[in-house]
Amino acid sequence: MRPIGVFGGTFDPIHVGHIMPVLDICELTGIEQVRYVPNARPSHRGTPRTAPEHRWNMTVLALADYPQLVADDREINRPGKSFMVPTLRSMRSEFGLRPLSLILGMDAFLQITQWYWWAEILKLANIIVINRPGAKVPAVLPVWWSRALKSHTRVLYERMSGNIVHLDVPLIDVSATRLRISMSRGEEHPDALPAEVAKYISEHQLYSASGVAG
Protein backbone atom coordinates (compact mmCIF):
# COMPACT_ATOMS: atom_id res chain seq x y z
CA MET A 1 0.00 0.00 0.00
CA ARG A 2 1.19 3.50 -0.76
CA PRO A 3 2.20 5.39 2.37
CA ILE A 4 0.58 8.50 3.73
CA GLY A 5 2.81 11.40 4.71
CA VAL A 6 2.30 13.42 7.88
CA PHE A 7 3.62 16.97 8.18
CA GLY A 8 2.98 18.99 11.33
CA GLY A 9 3.77 22.55 12.31
CA THR A 10 2.37 25.81 13.59
CA PHE A 11 2.14 27.13 10.00
CA ASP A 12 2.28 30.70 11.31
CA PRO A 13 2.05 31.47 8.44
CA ILE A 14 2.24 28.58 6.01
CA HIS A 15 4.61 29.50 3.17
CA VAL A 16 6.21 28.07 0.03
CA GLY A 17 8.99 26.49 2.10
CA HIS A 18 6.34 24.27 3.68
CA ILE A 19 4.95 23.22 0.31
CA MET A 20 7.57 22.83 -2.42
CA PRO A 21 9.92 20.42 -0.57
CA VAL A 22 6.94 18.21 0.33
CA LEU A 23 5.88 18.07 -3.32
CA ASP A 24 9.44 16.95 -4.12
CA ILE A 25 9.15 14.24 -1.45
CA CYS A 26 5.95 13.00 -3.07
CA GLU A 27 7.72 12.78 -6.42
CA LEU A 28 10.77 11.01 -5.00
CA THR A 29 8.89 8.48 -2.88
CA GLY A 30 5.56 8.01 -4.61
CA ILE A 31 3.64 9.13 -1.54
CA GLU A 32 0.23 10.03 -2.90
CA GLN A 33 -1.10 12.05 0.03
CA VAL A 34 0.46 14.18 2.77
CA ARG A 35 -1.63 15.30 5.72
CA TYR A 36 -0.75 18.79 6.95
CA VAL A 37 -1.52 18.96 10.67
CA PRO A 38 -1.50 22.47 12.17
CA ASN A 39 -0.64 22.47 15.88
CA ALA A 40 -3.35 24.07 17.98
CA ARG A 41 -1.23 24.48 21.12
CA PRO A 42 2.34 23.25 20.52
CA SER A 43 3.94 21.42 23.41
CA HIS A 44 7.54 22.22 22.47
CA ARG A 45 7.35 26.00 22.09
CA GLY A 46 5.38 29.05 23.15
CA THR A 47 1.79 29.55 22.11
CA PRO A 48 1.66 31.04 18.59
CA ARG A 49 0.53 34.63 18.34
CA THR A 50 -1.94 33.69 15.62
CA ALA A 51 -5.14 31.95 16.69
CA PRO A 52 -5.56 28.29 15.62
CA GLU A 53 -8.55 29.06 13.39
CA HIS A 54 -6.53 31.57 11.36
CA ARG A 55 -3.63 29.15 10.94
CA TRP A 56 -6.08 26.43 9.94
CA ASN A 57 -7.75 28.69 7.38
CA MET A 58 -4.39 29.67 5.89
CA THR A 59 -3.37 26.02 5.63
CA VAL A 60 -6.58 25.15 3.78
CA LEU A 61 -6.08 28.07 1.37
CA ALA A 62 -2.42 27.24 0.75
CA LEU A 63 -3.13 23.61 -0.17
CA ALA A 64 -6.21 24.17 -2.30
CA ASP A 65 -4.27 23.84 -5.58
CA TYR A 66 -2.49 20.61 -4.56
CA PRO A 67 -4.85 17.61 -4.34
CA GLN A 68 -2.12 15.41 -2.86
CA LEU A 69 -1.67 17.82 0.08
CA VAL A 70 -4.55 17.63 2.56
CA ALA A 71 -5.22 19.88 5.56
CA ASP A 72 -5.95 17.78 8.64
CA ASP A 73 -7.72 19.38 11.62
CA ARG A 74 -7.36 16.67 14.26
CA GLU A 75 -4.94 18.68 16.42
CA ILE A 76 -6.96 21.87 15.95
CA ASN A 77 -10.02 20.03 17.28
CA ARG A 78 -8.28 18.11 20.05
CA PRO A 79 -8.28 19.83 23.46
CA GLY A 80 -5.09 20.45 25.36
CA LYS A 81 -1.52 20.54 24.10
CA SER A 82 -0.70 19.22 20.64
CA PHE A 83 1.44 16.09 20.70
CA MET A 84 2.47 14.06 17.66
CA VAL A 85 2.06 10.62 19.23
CA PRO A 86 -1.73 10.93 19.82
CA THR A 87 -2.00 12.28 16.27
CA LEU A 88 -0.18 9.27 14.84
CA ARG A 89 -2.26 6.91 16.98
CA SER A 90 -5.41 8.51 15.61
CA MET A 91 -4.15 8.15 12.05
CA ARG A 92 -3.10 4.54 12.65
CA SER A 93 -6.64 3.83 13.83
CA GLU A 94 -8.10 5.59 10.78
CA PHE A 95 -5.78 4.19 8.10
CA GLY A 96 -5.23 0.71 9.47
CA LEU A 97 -2.27 -1.11 7.98
CA ARG A 98 -1.36 1.67 5.59
CA PRO A 99 2.23 2.88 6.22
CA LEU A 100 2.65 6.35 7.73
CA SER A 101 5.66 8.58 7.04
CA LEU A 102 6.27 11.49 9.40
CA ILE A 103 8.12 14.29 7.57
CA LEU A 104 10.57 16.26 9.70
CA GLY A 105 13.10 18.95 8.93
CA MET A 106 16.62 18.21 10.14
CA ASP A 107 16.33 20.80 12.91
CA ALA A 108 13.17 19.21 14.32
CA PHE A 109 14.59 15.70 13.96
CA LEU A 110 17.71 16.60 15.94
CA GLN A 111 15.40 17.66 18.80
CA ILE A 112 13.17 14.60 18.67
CA THR A 113 14.44 13.08 21.91
CA GLN A 114 12.98 16.11 23.71
CA TRP A 115 9.45 15.32 22.46
CA TYR A 116 6.90 13.70 24.73
CA TRP A 117 6.70 9.92 24.15
CA TRP A 118 9.27 10.31 21.39
CA ALA A 119 10.24 6.63 21.50
CA GLU A 120 6.68 5.76 20.46
CA ILE A 121 6.96 7.61 17.16
CA LEU A 122 8.95 4.92 15.36
CA LYS A 123 6.44 2.34 16.59
CA LEU A 124 3.71 4.23 14.78
CA ALA A 125 5.38 5.60 11.66
CA ASN A 126 8.45 5.77 9.50
CA ILE A 127 10.30 9.10 9.46
CA ILE A 128 11.46 11.06 6.43
CA VAL A 129 14.15 13.59 7.34
CA ILE A 130 14.88 16.49 5.01
CA ASN A 131 17.61 19.08 5.34
CA ARG A 132 16.79 22.54 6.60
CA PRO A 133 18.85 25.70 6.02
CA GLY A 134 21.37 25.98 8.84
CA ALA A 135 20.74 22.50 10.26
CA LYS A 136 23.55 20.05 9.57
CA VAL A 137 23.78 16.31 9.97
CA PRO A 138 25.84 15.67 13.13
CA ALA A 139 29.29 14.18 12.64
CA VAL A 140 28.48 11.27 14.96
CA LEU A 141 25.06 9.70 14.50
CA PRO A 142 23.16 7.59 17.02
CA VAL A 143 23.50 3.90 16.16
CA TRP A 144 19.79 3.52 15.47
CA TRP A 145 19.86 6.45 13.04
CA SER A 146 23.03 5.39 11.21
CA ARG A 147 21.46 2.01 10.59
CA ALA A 148 18.23 3.55 9.41
CA LEU A 149 20.00 5.85 6.97
CA LYS A 150 20.93 2.79 4.94
CA SER A 151 17.26 2.26 4.21
CA HIS A 152 15.92 2.84 0.73
CA THR A 153 12.65 4.64 0.09
CA ARG A 154 11.05 1.24 -0.60
CA VAL A 155 10.93 0.63 3.16
CA LEU A 156 8.27 3.31 3.32
CA TYR A 157 6.04 0.83 1.46
CA GLU A 158 7.30 -2.38 3.00
CA ARG A 159 6.95 -1.44 6.67
CA MET A 160 4.27 0.50 8.51
CA SER A 161 6.80 2.02 10.91
CA GLY A 162 10.30 1.90 12.33
CA ASN A 163 12.52 3.23 9.56
CA ILE A 164 14.18 6.59 8.92
CA VAL A 165 14.94 7.80 5.41
CA HIS A 166 17.08 10.88 4.83
CA LEU A 167 16.20 12.69 1.59
CA ASP A 168 17.97 15.57 -0.11
CA VAL A 169 15.39 17.82 -1.69
CA PRO A 170 15.73 21.39 -2.95
CA LEU A 171 15.06 23.75 -0.08
CA ILE A 172 13.61 27.23 0.00
CA ASP A 173 15.18 29.47 2.62
CA VAL A 174 11.99 31.02 3.98
CA SER A 175 11.40 31.47 7.69
CA ALA A 176 7.97 32.01 9.21
CA THR A 177 9.61 33.99 12.00
CA ARG A 178 11.32 36.33 9.55
CA LEU A 179 8.09 36.68 7.61
CA ARG A 180 6.15 37.68 10.71
CA ILE A 181 8.74 40.28 11.64
CA SER A 182 8.95 41.81 8.19
CA MET A 183 5.18 41.83 7.71
CA SER A 184 4.82 43.69 11.01
CA ARG A 185 6.87 46.41 9.30
CA GLY A 186 4.46 46.53 6.39
CA GLU A 187 6.65 44.57 3.97
CA GLU A 188 5.10 42.21 1.42
CA HIS A 189 6.42 38.82 0.28
CA PRO A 190 4.70 37.77 -2.96
CA ASP A 191 7.28 35.04 -3.67
CA ALA A 192 7.18 33.50 -0.20
CA LEU A 193 3.44 33.20 0.38
CA PRO A 194 0.70 31.56 -1.68
CA ALA A 195 -1.44 34.35 -3.12
CA GLU A 196 -4.59 33.37 -1.23
CA VAL A 197 -2.65 33.22 2.03
CA ALA A 198 -1.20 36.68 1.46
CA LYS A 199 -4.71 37.96 0.75
CA TYR A 200 -6.07 36.36 3.92
CA ILE A 201 -3.27 37.84 6.02
CA SER A 202 -3.96 41.29 4.59
CA GLU A 203 -7.72 41.04 5.12
CA HIS A 204 -7.35 39.99 8.76
CA GLN A 205 -4.23 42.10 9.52
CA LEU A 206 -2.68 39.07 11.15
CA TYR A 207 0.89 40.28 11.35
CA SER A 208 0.58 44.05 11.14
CA ALA A 209 2.02 46.05 14.00
CA SER A 210 -1.49 47.15 15.00
CA GLY A 211 -3.35 44.00 13.97
CA VAL A 212 -4.71 41.41 16.33
CA ALA A 213 -4.43 37.73 15.53
CA GLY A 214 -7.18 36.42 17.75
pLDDT at 8 over 90: yes
Mean pLDDT across the stretch 173-197? 91
Between the alpha carbon of residue 63 and those of residues 68, 72, 193, the distances in Å are: 9, 11, 12
pLDDT over threshold 60, residue 196 = yes
> What's the alpha-carbon Rg for the chain, to the nearest Å?
17
Kindly state the helix (H) or strand (E) to which residue 33 belongs, with its residue range. strand 33-38
Write out pLDDT tens, residues 78-113. Answer: 988 888 999 999 999 999 999 999 999 888 888 888
* Domains along the chain with CATH numbers: 4-173 (3.40.50.620)
Place 133 in a pLDDT band, splitting at 50, 70 and 90. Answer: low
pLDDT of residue 124: 95
Average pLDDT over the chain reads: 87
Amino acid identity at 8: G
The model's confidence at residue 149, banded by pLDDT at 50, 70 and 90, is low
The answer, yes or no, to whether residue 146 has pLDDT greater than 80, is no
**Largest Cα–Cα distance of the chain, in whole Å?**
52
- 0.85 surpassed by pTM: yes
pLDDT above 80 for 138? no
